[in-house]
Structure 1
Amino acid sequence: MEIFYFVVFGGLAAIVAGLELSKSNKDRINTSSAFNSFKNNYLLVYSLMMAGDWLQGPYVYYLYSTYGFGKGEIGQLFIAGFGSSMLFGTIVGSLADKQGRKRASITYCITYILSCITKHSPQYKVLMVGRVLGGIATSLLFSAFESWLVAEHNKRGFEQQWLSLTFSKAIFLGNGLVAIIAGLFGNFLVDSLALGPVAPFDAAACFLAIGMAVIISSWSENYGDPSENKDLLTQFKNAASAIASDEKIALLGAIQSLFEGSMYTFVFLWTPALSPNEEDIPHGFIFATFMLASMLGSSIASRLLAHSSPKVESYMQIVFVISSAALMLPVVTSFLVAPSGVKGGNISFSGCIQLMGFCTFEACVGIFWPSIMKMRSQYIPEEARSTIMNFFRIPLNIFVCLVLYNVDAFPMTVMFGMCSVFLFVASILQRRLMNVAEIHKSRSQEWSAAKEMTAEADPLNP
């Protein structure tokens, strides 16, 4: 393997270590022992859940191919996963608000374990059922756990700023360190122990079962709106009404869909982008490098969120612009760097430039997750949190399904260019969100001041 890969990985590791070790008291948030115990419990559960997810990711396509399925059939299986997340996942996720977020988290574990079990069958129909279950589980993973955390955090009376600490640590561990370890562990099971491509799915099921045991034994239940007279349709109507009546929520949903849609498209495209002529690239090592870049982003986010300035609505505009520029690199290099016609070999000069850009994008992903979580905790109403968060995933899943269905219809430069434009639009919407939030805050302050003056002027006021 070329020294270039080790230089990039080592450089990122040094920067992450430097950032973590150089944190001063100004970069840290003083908390209570009760909060630390609560935070550590959630981080343990979240890390186990993400270990179960990350172990599967690198081997899904490979497992299907070993069963003899072609690119078209595998594409249909992937589309089924995103489609079920959009349809069934939205319904199941919404039930979390009414039936309880703890129950929804346990349902996630059971559903994903069943999905892992189906991977033992080479039958296409069984694998399709597994993809449907996986899609439902994905919706629960990205809504139920965060909804439980926010509600429980507020119920226990912890300070609002402490929530951002949990978010940033969760992304640093779950989407960074755990992802790297899971990738290496999966590689050890498949290659070193020669247990076959289904082994990571069995390991994932074990981690999920451990996490479920922790949830059952240590989590309390909380709800969004537990009133008996609200059925599922009423919940959907209330969620849609909240999105339509509050521009901040609508903007937040659009921003999330644009960024995550671009992110999932990048996941499909980075391999052919770095090896257009079937260059020999270390996929597992590059994946670990991307996760390290994500850890760098979450470390930066933890510093930003620990301070009141700059506000999350402000710095995220810059993050979206940088991510837009990073995904424009494949388009730029296609014009400025002469393509190599040699098949195989090592990564090209163009590929090296793109890899640096992709690491930059992954760092932006690391900043995005805790920051969007922070904004969701501020703007999404508690009584319909899971429902609204799953509403946000509907346009995302439609977009990803369309990309998967037409992945061979457009050149990669067009796909990357489209993602770059989407991210730039997200930066514009982010600026609008900041302005709307400031106007809303200013009006609230004026209303409160006017109310106080009226009360003081009232002679009957005690």
Structure 2
Amino acid sequence: MEIFYYMVFGALAAVVAGLELSKSNKDRINTSSAFNSFKNNYLLVYSLMMAGDWLQGPYVYYLYSTYGFGKGEIGQLFIAGFGSSMLFGTIVGSLADKQGRKRACVTYCITYILSCITKHSPQYKVLMIGRVLGGIATSLLFSAFESWLVAEHFKRGFDPQWLSLTFSKAIFLGNGLVAILAGLFGNTLVDSLNLGPVSPFDAAAIFLAIGMAIILSSWTENYGDPSENKNLLTQFKGAAVAIASDEKIALLGAIQSLFEGSMYTFVFLWTPALSPNDEDIPHGFIFATFMLASMLGSSIAARLLARNAVKVESYMQIVFVISSASLLLPILTNFFIPPSVVKGGGISFAGCLQLLGFCAFEACVGIFWPSIMKMRSQYIPEEARSTIMNFFRIPLNIFVCIVLYNVSAFPMTFMFGMCSIFLFVASILQRRLSAIGDKPKTEEWMLKDKSSEAEPLNA
């Protein structure tokens, strides 16, 4: 493998280690032992949940191909997953507010374990059921756990600022270190031990089962709005009213959809961008490098969130501009550097530049997650937290389905340009959110116990 990859990985590792070891008192938050115990319990569970997710990711496409399915059929399976997350996942995720967030987290574990079991069957219909279950699980992963954490944090009377510490550590571990270890572990199972492409899914099911056992034994239940006379349709209406009546929530939802839509599109594009002429690139090592860059971002976010003088709404404007510029690199290199016509070989000079830009984007992803979590905890009303968070994922899933369906219809530079524009728009919306973020509400929209509609309650 070329030395360039080791240099990038080593440089990122050195910076991450330096940031973590050089933290001063200004970068640390003094917390209580009770909070530390609570935080560590959540981080353990979240890391196990993310291990179950990361183990599967690199092998889904590969497993389907070993069963003899072509790109078209595999594309339909992927679309089914995102479509399921949009439709069924939104409903199941919204039930968390009424039926309990702990129950929703357990439901995530059971649903994802069942999805893993379906991977043993080469039957297309069974695999489709697995994708539907996986889509439901994804919605729960990105709503129920965060909703439980925020509610439980405040229910136990912890300092609101301490919440950002849990968010940043969760991303550092779950979306960084665990992702790297899961990739290496999955590679060991499939390549070194020759256990086959379904073995990472079995390992994922084991991690999910362990996490579920911890949830059942140590977590308490909390709710959003457990009103007996409020049905699911009324919850949806109430959430829609909250989004429509509060510009901050609407802006937050738009920002999240624009960034995550660009992020998921990037997942599909980085491989052909770095190897347009079938260059030999180490996909697993590059993935680990991206996750290390994400750890760098979460480490930076931890420092920023620890300082009261730094507003998350302000620095995220800069993050979105940097992420927008980083995804312009494939367009710029294609314009200024003549493309190679030689098939195969090592990564090109343009590819090296793009890899550096992609690492910058992944660092922005690492900053984005704890920061958006912090803003969601501030702006989204507790009584409908899971419902509103799943509403935010509807345009995201629609966008990803459209991209998957038309990924071969547009040139790669067009796709990167579209993502760059989306991220720049996100920076503009973030600027607006920063401007109105400190303004007090004149109206507080609450979910009323009515069967037909939610009404505003004057503050």
Q: TM-score range by the shorter chain?
A: over 0.9
Partner of 2:170: 170
* Cα displacement (A) at 1:437: 1.2
**Distance in 1 between the 2:164 and 2:310 partners?**
14
Aligned pairs for 1:330-409 within 5 A: 330-409=330-409
* Cα displacement (A) at 1:42: 0.1
Aligned pairs for 1:233-248 within 5 A: 233-248=233-248
* Cα displacement (A) at 1:440: 3.0
* Cα displacement (A) at 1:438: 2.5
**Distance in 1 between the 2:402 and 2:105 partners?**
29
**Distance in 1 between the 2:263 and 2:60 partners?**
18
Partner of 1:256: 256
Q: Any gaps of 5 or more consecutive residues in structure 2?
A: 444-459
Q: Any gaps of 5 or more consecutive residues in structure 1?
A: 445-462
**Distance in 2 between the 1:21 and 1:270 partners?**
32
Equivalent AA in structure 1 for residue 12 of structure 2:
L
RMSD: 0.8
Partner of 2:317: 317
**Distance in 1 between the 2:387 and 2:23 partners?**
37
Equivalent AA in structure 2 for residue 87 of structure 1:
L
Aligned pairs for 1:45-64 within 5 A: 45-64=45-64
3-state DSSP of counterpart to 2:391: helix
3-state DSSP of counterpart to 1:176: helix
**Distance in 2 between the 1:137 and 1:56 partners?**
13
Q: Does 1:283 find its partner at 2:283?
A: yes
* Cα displacement (A) at 1:436: 1.3
Partner of 1:328: 328
Tell me the alpha carbon deviations over residues 28-64 of structure 1, each in whole angstroms, 9 at most, x when there is no partner.
Answer: 0000000000000000000000000000000000100
3-state DSSP of counterpart to 1:299: helix
Equivalent AA in structure 2 for residue 116 of structure 1:
C
Tell me the alpha carbon deviations over residues 399-435 of structure 1, each in whole angstroms, 9 at most, x when there is no partner.
Answer: 0000000000000000000000000000000000011
Partner of 2:213: 213
Equivalent AA in structure 2 for residue 43 of structure 1:
L
Partner of 2:181: 181
**Distance in 1 between the 2:337 and 2:125 partners?**
45
**Distance in 2 between the 1:152 and 1:66 partners?**
44
3-state DSSP of counterpart to 1:438: coil
3-state DSSP of counterpart to 1:309: coil
Partner of 1:160: 160
**Distance in 2 between the 1:7 and 1:145 partners?**
37
**Distance in 2 between the 1:316 and 1:87 partners?**
30
**Distance in 2 between the 1:199 and 1:183 partners?**
13
- Which is higher, the Rg of structure 1 or of structure 2? 1
**Distance in 2 between the 1:358 and 1:394 partners?**
26
**Distance in 2 between the 1:279 and 1:309 partners?**
47
Aligned pairs for 1:18-37 within 5 A: 18-37=18-37
Partner of 1:439: 439
**Distance in 2 between the 1:308 and 1:429 partners?**
22
3-state DSSP of counterpart to 2:110: helix
Equivalent AA in structure 1 for residue 244 of structure 2:
A
Equivalent AA in structure 2 for residue 415 of structure 1:
M
Equivalent AA in structure 1 for residue 297 of structure 2:
G
Partner of 1:299: 299
Partner of 2:417: 417
Tell me the alpha carbon deviations over residues 114-145 of structure 1, each in whole angstroms, 9 at most, x when there is no partner.
Answer: 00000000111000000000000000000000
| Higher deviation after alignment, 252-261 or 307-316 | 307-316
* Cα displacement (A) at 1:196: 0.6
**Distance in 2 between the 1:25 and 1:161 partners?**
15
**Distance in 1 between the 2:112 and 2:439 partners?**
43
**Distance in 1 between the 2:350 and 2:104 partners?**
45
3-state DSSP of counterpart to 1:244: helix
Equivalent AA in structure 2 for residue 82 of structure 1:
F
**Distance in 1 between the 2:345 and 2:440 partners?**
57
Q: Does 1:38 find its partner at 2:38?
A: yes
Equivalent AA in structure 1 for residue 75 of structure 2:
G
**Distance in 2 between the 1:230 and 1:324 partners?**
42
**Distance in 2 between the 1:128 and 1:344 partners?**
35
3-state DSSP of counterpart to 1:339: coil
Aligned pairs for 1:16-165 within 5 A: 16-165=16-165
**Distance in 2 between the 1:54 and 1:394 partners?**
22
Partner of 2:446: none
* Cα displacement (A) at 1:439: 3.0
Tell me the alpha carbon deviations over residues 286-327 of structure 1, each in whole angstroms, 9 at most, x when there is no partner.
Answer: 000000000000000000000012200000000000000000
**Distance in 2 between the 1:205 and 1:340 partners?**
44
3-state DSSP of counterpart to 1:440: coil
**Distance in 2 between the 1:212 and 1:296 partners?**
29
Aligned pairs for 1:221-232 within 5 A: 221-232=221-232
Partner of 1:454: none
**Distance in 2 between the 1:307 and 1:139 partners?**
31
**Distance in 2 between the 1:321 and 1:438 partners?**
22
Tell me the alpha carbon deviations over residues 225-276 of structure 1, each in whole angstroms, 9 at most, x when there is no partner.
Answer: 0110100000000000000000000000000000000000000000011000
**Distance in 2 between the 1:28 and 1:245 partners?**
37
Instruction: Tell me the matched-pair count.
Output: 443
Equivalent AA in structure 2 for residue 64 of structure 1:
Y
Equivalent AA in structure 2 for residue 153 of structure 1:
H
**Distance in 2 between the 1:195 and 1:341 partners?**
38
**Could you tell me the percent identity over the aligned residues?**
88
3-state DSSP of counterpart to 2:197: coil
| Larger helix proportion of the pair | 1
**Distance in 1 between the 2:60 and 2:337 partners?**
34
Tell me the alpha carbon deviations over residues 179-213 of structure 1, each in whole angstroms, 9 at most, x when there is no partner.
Answer: 00000000000000011110000000000000000
**Distance in 1 between the 2:124 and 2:171 partners?**
34
**Distance in 1 between the 2:327 and 2:308 partners?**
30
